[in-house]
Structure 1
């Protein structure tokens, strides 16, 4: 069992009645992992909106006002209407591109692929009704703060073992109450020194 699996198990023991929701981008490995630990999964709304913005550019390459209006309307529908992801997908697929450049065709293709592969995870209207999160920004910010800022400094190189020890310690220090909990358990013999 990985440390992350252990943390999740500990949280579920502490909060057995909580609803656990997985929010991530479209990478398949995210979903296979999250399905094991969550009762609901939601595709990050902001990732989906980036693909919609690309589709808007492909559909309205010459009119910024039309592009903006179309995007705003589709984002509102995606967030608030049942079945909107499939309808938007069909609209993007069937639309005739006014300019068939390679770049614009690729933007539409990427949006169609993303919505085809992930529309079943875009139930934002239902998530919002249940007060579930629809964005992964908090998690991404934590990763940036905990990992990237510490491990990606100029000239730094890490072996997996050293990075793991450093990140485990950093996570304990930056998580409210966890550092004190570790030392309390260490002093009473409940935890061994090898993190």
Structure 2
């Protein structure tokens, strides 16, 4: 299944509202992306002066969708930080305590220093690979590739200074609450239509005010509209 969120934050970085969008699996994600884009455009009509930031993991299709709709794009900090663990192993392959110390220091640097991602990439590329085991070298290579592909989306210090979010925890939590808690119970089996209806209703109930809006339209237009909302 697919889940997206649109969150509104105040000037101090406190989340004020979240709209949840969920859909059953589909080839190409066209229906889900159409609904996401419709929701984003509605929010932008309500708040035309706001800054819109796209936030996600490293999947290329996420950025293809988000870039035209947002002013800035930020890679989830915790995905990026996870790759620093691979670098720490390459630098200190036999000293776990050194690995943790390096991780703590450089996660802080990545989060709070302007240009940190580019400097970290340079440091990774300078590591001598000859003394590394195959698995550690493979991890280092993965980290270098990840930072090469996404360092332009790792402007965490600037985002933090503007009180903008740098983690996709809201969406990841929605995956658990909206989808897994409802569809993945013991012995459950779903047809696509049933899953789609369940996820649509669950998204309505978890988005503040949407359930009331839904029933207001039902009362006004009848159940034909309800069928078109799925």
- What is the TM-score with the length of structure 1 in the denominator? 0.92
DSSP 3-state at the match of 1:156: coil
1:193 match? 226
1:84 match? 116
Matched, 1:163 2:195: yes
1:17 match? 49
Of Structure 1 and Structure 2, the greater strand share is in 2
Offset, 1:155: 2.9
- For residues 69-128 of structure 1, give each alpha carbon's deviation from its aligned partner in whole angstroms, at most 9, with x where no partner exists: 221221122111121111111111111247421111111011111101100000111111
Matched, 1:109 2:147: no
2:165 match? 133
Offset, 1:58: 2.0
How far, CA to CA, are the matches of 1:193 and 1:112 in structure 2? 49
Residue pairs, 1:144-155, within 5 angstroms: 144-155=176-187
Q: What CA RMSD, in Å, does the superposition of the two structures yield over aligned residues?
A: 1.8
DSSP 3-state at the match of 1:22: strand
How far, CA to CA, are the matches of 2:180 and 2:60 in structure 1? 23
Matched, 1:40 2:100: no
How far, CA to CA, are the matches of 1:159 and 1:7 in structure 2? 26
Gaps of 5+ in 2: 1-30
How far, CA to CA, are the matches of 2:50 and 2:196 in structure 1? 29
Gaps of 5+ in 1: none
Structure 1 contact 173–179 (Cα < 8 Å) conserved: yes
- Number of aligned residue pairs: give it: 195
Most deviating of 40-49 and 167-176: 167-176
Structure 1 contact 59–97 (Cα < 8 Å) conserved: no
Offset, 1:8: 1.6
How far, CA to CA, are the matches of 1:155 and 1:183 in structure 2? 31
- For residues 155-182 of structure 1, give each alpha carbon's deviation from its aligned partner in whole angstroms, at most 9, with x where no partner exists: 3333333222211111101222111111
- What is the TM-score with the length of structure 2 in the denominator? 0.79
